[in-house]
Chain A
Amino acid sequence: MIANLSTYETVQAAHVKVWFKAGPALKFPKNGGACIKYKDKQIAVFNFTRQGTWYACQNLCPHKMEMVLSRGMIGEEDMQPKVACPLHKNTFSLKTGENLNGSLDAIATYPVKIEDDFVYVGFAD
């Protein structure tokens, strides 16, 4: 299967139809990312331990269409949480998906919640 950008659309918390159980929170690296599979999607999930928050976005970097964002470093710039793609260090806001250091397309972001030490990612399909 070849990655298709149109597979990924941002989901707002209010529009979640399915809370997908992605795995135990402990399996996710602290202050880093890991990837989960949901149907035909690859989703990068970030455990931003320092902030005490979780984020999720497409694993696909829109620059060169490779499934790598979960392996990027996370951080923050002007209070905006971000991930840096490991291929060319393009940075994307984990809140809005916006490309912070260039003019690439925004990436899709997804809501995350933790219940009973499990990570759930919200999808609209």
Chain B
Amino acid sequence: MKTIIVVGNGMVGYKFCEKIAAKEESENFKIIVFGEEPRAAYDRVHLSEFFGNRDAKALELAPASWYAENNIELVVNERVTDIHRKTKTITTGSDKEYKYDYLVLATGSSPFVPPINGVEKEGVFVYRTIEDLEAMLGYAEKIKAAKPNGRAAILGGGLLGLEAGKAVMDMGLEPHVVEFAPKLMPRQLDSRSSNVLQLTLENIGINIHLGKATNRILGDGAITGMDFGEDDSLEVDMLVVSAGIRPRDELGKTCNLAMGVRGGIVVNDRMQTSDPNIYAIGEVALYNQMIYGLVAPGYEMAEVAVNQIIENNEVLMSSEIDMSTKLKLIGVDVASFGVPYMPAEKGLSIIYENKTKGLYKRINVSLDGKTLLGGIMVGDAEDYSILHQMYLNNIPLPDNAEELIVGTRGEGGSAFGSAMDLPDTAVICSCEAVTKGAVCCSVIDDGNETVKDVAKATKATTGCGGCKPMVADLVKESLKTLGKTVKESICEHFDYSRQELFDIVKLKGIQDYDQLLDEVGKGHGCEVCKPAAASIFASIYNETANRQETIQDSNDRYLANIQRNGTYSVVPRVAGGEISPKQLMALGRIAKKYDLYTKITGGQRIDMFGAKLHELPLIWEELIAEGFETGQAYGKSLRTVKSCVGSTWCRYGMDESVSFAIEIENRYKGIRSPHKFKGGVSGCIRECAEARCKDFGFIAVEGGWNVYVGGNGGATPRHAELLAEKVDKETAIKYVDRFMMFYIKTAPPLTRTAAWLEKLEGGITYLKNVVINDSLGIVDELDTDMQNFVNTYKCEWKEAVETPEIRERYTHFINSDEPDDNIEFVSLREQKMPKEWA
């Protein structure tokens, strides 16, 4: 039996153990792994999560018992100090000697601390191990106890530095990121994307200082500031150094292995060092004259070393290493792949930038326009996986390459095609080197039907998790090729889609949620299926949210919107945005009486914030007395029908948009649907009501109204599509009635009309056929159902205020009339707002 000694039990050292344990040949080896940290290997990529949960266990890659179960001897808290190549032995810090046949160096790297005067002062930290983090947390507590506005700087604006910036902000210190280069993440971003990222981070509260060389750390014993020279300095109480890494290569040096000029142990494509019995993998290895500070190449190196040792000699390290990365940095997507930026003679770039939205996308294409060379995405990296795959697999670019980043225009559809178009050899999960073929086989040949099962079988998605959306697509498409439909069941309690449940409730005449669960579901329900069922009951019986209050989403249960501090906001209906001075005064009076923060909403209404639970019925009662009713601002239901002023006052107006908006808002008020929906009516093509970004919109033109449907503002904006042209008002309403009913009956839960229309086979043409030409023969039913909604509308506020049992729900405590004494407000521009979240 031969002995393999692994020096270093970080992520890559662990991966080596895991990979060799999985081989049959591992029986022929005795494996000993040394780690100098006090614990077994953990996930350093997600280290900053430790600040959130302080749970070292959650970061574990495997429990200590795993090593024993796999016949691997794990020695922690022990440093290997020497290698004796002649005798093939190593010695450790406690002077023990071990003999090896193969030695694997996975000693990783240490943070690079630049030789700045004063860097040894108290309060200067590095960001590498759980112990480093614990020390930082302890020091931050000390600062906060001593002064209220403590500041911390991070030296280095790379990936890790920005994460550290967020971490110190979460500790309650004012964060300052100091970067030597003139841009953030200098290796991954160009200067324009750096600008966009900087703006976004500054908005969150992270201060960024670029192009600053730190000369000296100020302070007597403990750090008090950083000196940048020429009278430029920054006062800080703590400093986290995150200025890059240096390979931990001292073992290689002392036993005379071949080394790089600037460090790192030289390896060949078998991961062998200059001594064929010694391998080096991960961040200590210098391959192709480079140190690779990413986990995916480290894992590949582990795989190569394992194969070489078991004499599977044809597995070699890839000659080109992909340094693409995607991450969610402080809630902001940042991705960079291939060649992120390059000189103009190498290729052409297509750049999209929108600073108001914090978006930047750039792709670099070859001079002949045929291949993708790389790119950068900040603010939205949803398309990263597919772009990255196109790059890795040299997939030819479409004719309109700009559509890859700005989306297609006109008729729906995506510029990408599907993940299924990739070759089988395309690596989908680069952390675990899982190919598209392996994912699909796992579904088609091995019968795994969910992402969870595929992940278990192939390990795809278990590294950084960035490939999850693509794996989900592949699983879905593979199931389709088997003729299996991918069930869009609502949750574990119902094996049905919303549409199927809708039909079941209607046909069986099911009256309440418990009955539904008993007859066609299982278990006891959850926060996903309950509101979906509530929406179905509302759509079929037009019942208000008051009847089955505990299956309603929190907002519907209390007929108001829960806000940051657990208080509520109240929005009465102001149909079409038209409001009389008398009504305005009434709103003002009531808001003043209950000390509510008021704001005009984006949808032409007035929002009143800060009402405590027990005050809601009192406020509604007064509003009702003034002629107001609920605006259903909390519901998945009609919000507003926005209007411009129209032909009554406007010199351009073609028709009366206000009257029409009021009519239509009152028509659809209270109707429950799969998601909220909004309307707009513009009196002329200047479109001041922005009707085309609404779920339905009317625009007055010469000769009638144009009807648009399926628009959306919000996070994924989409212009509405033309359903009918130059129709009269009655016809316009009829078409929208049918469109809305068809949507309500068939859309999945929480799907806006835009997304629903996008997925509708045949799109707008099909929709026209259904609602105008009655191709399905269902318009009579749609018309009747809508009219039934309109006829049976009830104001839920009124119902709640007037029904003692319902009104009783609005107390904070069952056993006391006291209000919640936890709520605190602070003042803002002469109004109030909730105190900051801790």
Please determine whether B527 and A84 come into contact, CB atoms closer than 8 angstroms: yes
With an 8 A cutoff between CB atoms, is B48 at the interface?
Answer: no
Q: Which of the residues A35, A77, A103 comes within 8 Å of B814, measured between beta carbons?
A: A35
Give, as a whole number of angstroms, the nearest-CB distance from B554 to chain A.
3
With an 8 A cutoff between CB atoms, is A104 at the interface?
Answer: yes
In A31-48, the 8 Å CB interface with B consists of 31-32, 34-37, 42, 45, 48
Size of the chain B interface, CB-CB below 8 angstroms: 45
Please determine whether B551 and A35 come into contact, CB atoms closer than 8 angstroms: no
Please determine whether B551 and A68 come into contact, CB atoms closer than 8 angstroms: no
Give, as a whole number of angstroms, the nearest-CB distance from B798 to chain A.
21
Map CB proximity to B onto A64-86 as digits: 1 under 8 Å, 0 otherwise. 11111001111111110110101
Q: Which of A76, A78, A91: most chain B Cβ within 10 A? A: A76
**Which residues from chain B contact A22 at a C-beta distance below 8 Å?**
814-815
Q: For chain B, what secondary structure do more than half of its interface residues adopt (helix, strand, loop), or is it mixed?
A: loop
Please determine whether A50 and B822 come into contact, CB atoms closer than 8 angstroms: no
A interface, CB within 8 angstroms of B: 1-3, 22-23, 27-32, 34-37, 42, 45, 48, 50-51, 60, 64-68, 71-79, 81-82, 84, 86-87, 89, 91, 103-105
Q: Which of the residues B530, B809, B818, B824 comes within 8 Å of A29, measured between beta carbons?
A: B809
Given contacts A1-B822, A2-B824, A76-B525, contact A86 B554 (CB under 8 A): yes
Please determine whether B566 and A36 come into contact, CB atoms closer than 8 angstroms: no
Q: Which 7 residue pairs spanning A and B have beta carbons closest together?
A: A75-B526, A32-B550, A86-B554, A84-B527, A76-B524, A103-B53, A73-B527
Please determine whether B53 and A76 come into contact, CB atoms closer than 8 angstroms: no
Complex: A12 Cα to B745 Cα, angstroms = 48
Please determine whether B527 and A75 come into contact, CB atoms closer than 8 angstroms: yes
9 A–B contacts from the bound complex (CB under 8 Å): A32-B549, A37-B816, A50-B524, A64-B837, A76-B524, A77-B492, A86-B562, A91-B527, A103-B52
Complex: A73 Cα to B633 Cα, angstroms = 20
**Which residues from chain A contact B550 at a C-beta distance below 8 Å?**
29-32, 73-74
Please determine whether B53 and A89 come into contact, CB atoms closer than 8 angstroms: no
Which chain A residue shows the least CB distance to B523?
A76
Please determine whether A73 and B530 come into contact, CB atoms closer than 8 angstroms: yes
Q: Which of B527, B553, B809, B814: most chain A Cβ within 10 A? A: B814
Complex: A50 Cα to B814 Cα, angstroms = 21
In B536-555, the 8 Å CB interface with A consists of 549-551, 553-555
- 10 A-B pairs besides A31-B514, A51-B524, A75-B493 with CB distance below 8 A are A1-B822, A2-B824, A23-B815, A27-B814, A28-B814, A37-B818, A65-B838, A73-B527, A73-B554, A82-B526
Complex: A65 Cα to B834 Cα, angstroms = 12
Complex: A27 Cα to B804 Cα, angstroms = 13
With an 8 A cutoff between CB atoms, is B502 at the interface?
Answer: no
Complex: A29 Cα to B547 Cα, angstroms = 12
**Which residues from chain B contact A103 at a C-beta distance below 8 Å?**
49, 52-53, 55, 58
In B421-444, the 8 Å CB interface with A consists of none
With an 8 A cutoff between CB atoms, is B23 at the interface?
Answer: no
With an 8 A cutoff between CB atoms, is B311 at the interface?
Answer: no
Q: Which of the residues B528, B554, B823 comes within 8 Å of A71, measured between beta carbons?
A: B554
Complex: A11 Cα to B525 Cα, angstroms = 27
Map CB proximity to A onto B510-528 as digits: 1 under 8 Å, 0 otherwise. 0000100100000111111
